[in-house]
Every structure is written in C-alpha cells, then in structure tokens.
Amino acid sequence: MQKSLHIDPGKCTGCLQCEMACSYENYGVFNLSKSRIKVFNFEAEGRKVPYTCTQCAEAWCMSACPVDAIRIDAATGAKVVHIDVCVGCKVCTIACPFGTVNYVADSGKVQKCDLCGGDPACAAACPTAAITYIDADWTGLDKMRQWAGKTNTQPRASA
C-alpha cells in the first residue's frame, strides 16, 4: 500500500510543531528555517495552511534534474534528493509548480520532503491531526463523507 501525507488545513492551529519536528528529524535541531513543511498564515481570513511536497506521480522536479539526483524511494514512493549527487543548479525549484523544492544556501544543495522514510515526523508531531499519513488511494475519503452527509435525501421508509 502506498501512503501519502494528507493535510486538512481546517484543523491547523498554527503551532508549528510540524516544522520543528521536520527540522529535528533531518538536521537534529529545532529550526523553522530548515523545515521542509511550512505553515502559512492567512491572518485576515483566520486560516492557517500547512504545505509541503505532494510527491507527484509524474514528478517535474525529477524530470528536470540534469544529474538524476532526485529518485523514487521504492518503499514509500517519495521523490528523494540524493545530496551527494545534487549539484545545486536549482532547475528543480523552477520546474516544481508548487514551490516545494527549496535551495539551501548552507549546503549548496536543494531539499524537499522525503516522507522520512515512511514515518513522517510532521504527522507524528501534529496535535490536531491536521497532518496525517494515510493510504494514498483514500486521501479524499473524509471529504467525500462530509459532502455525502450534506446530500438532501430522506431515510427510506421501512414499509
């Protein structure tokens, strides 16, 4: 079964535990500037939206990379940056339509979400289940159920 990160912004409180968990998992430090998931605050609307790589099936970052530094992790389906191969040309950051591959000046390489090898630290740290790691085929199920519940049908009469 392939799993994917599922984000429900309606549940996000903006606490940034996910960003700290991400930086700790990957760099051993609590540092928001090193996080691969970002929470955006739309202040006047009262909305907070966590955002990170969705691991496109046909990943443009991967296609664009001239040195084949972005490869698929067979176990998780994550598109993973191989740091030893990356030359820091940033073409992937241009190719990605969502901006979720980012250049890191310190290392001269790019970074993106790699699903932590199948146990994403951001999902584990999220206190409100705004970020979950679920069966990729059913990412829309909750939303479907919610809308299904709004359809205006009367219970069938039993007799």
Partner 1 sequence: MGWTRKILRVDLSKGSCKSEPLNMEWAQQYLGQRGLATKYFVEEVDPKVDPLSAANKMIMATGPLTGTMASTGGRYSVITKGPLTGAIACSNSGGHFGAELKMAGWDMVIFEGKSDKPVYLWIQDDVAELRDASHLWGKTTWETEEMIKSGHHDPQIRVASIGRAGENGVFYACIVNDLHRAAGRSGVGAVMGSKNLKAVAIRGTVGVSGIRDFKAFMTATNAAKKVLADNAVTGQGLPKFGTQVLMNVINEMGALPTRNAKEVQFEGARKISGEAMHEKRLSDGKANLVTNAACFGCTIACGRISQVDKDHWSVKNNPKYWGATGGLEYEAAWSLGAADGVDDLDALTVANMICNEDGFDPITFGATVGAVMELYTMGVLSKEQIGIESPFGSAQALIEITRMTAEGRGFGKEVGLGSARLTAKYGHPELSMSVKGQEFPAYDPRGIQGMGLTYATSNRGACHLRSYTVASEVLGIPVKTDPLVTEGKPGLVMAFQDATAAFDSSGTCVFTTFAWSLGDLAPQIDAACEGGEGGWTVERLAQLGERIWNMERLFNNAAGFTAKDDDLPLRMKTEPAKTGPAKGLVSGIDKMVPEYYQLRGWDKAGVPEKDTLARLGL
| Least gap, CB of 65 to partner 1 (angstroms) | 26
75 alpha carbon, distance to own chain's centre: 17
Structure tokens at 52: 């990170």
| Least gap, CB of 57 to partner 1 (angstroms) | 31
| Neighbour tally for 57: CB within 10 Å | 10
Structure tokens at 33: 């500037």
What are the distances in angstroms from CA 70 to CA 67, 122, 148? Answer: 8, 22, 39
How big is the CA angle at 27 (ends 115 and 70), to the nearest 5 degrees?
Answer: 45
| Least gap, CB of 23 to partner 1 (angstroms) | 7
Q: Which residues bind partner 1 (CB under 8 A)?
A: 13-17, 20-21, 23-24, 27-34, 43-48, 125, 127-128
| Least gap, CB of 19 to partner 1 (angstroms) | 10
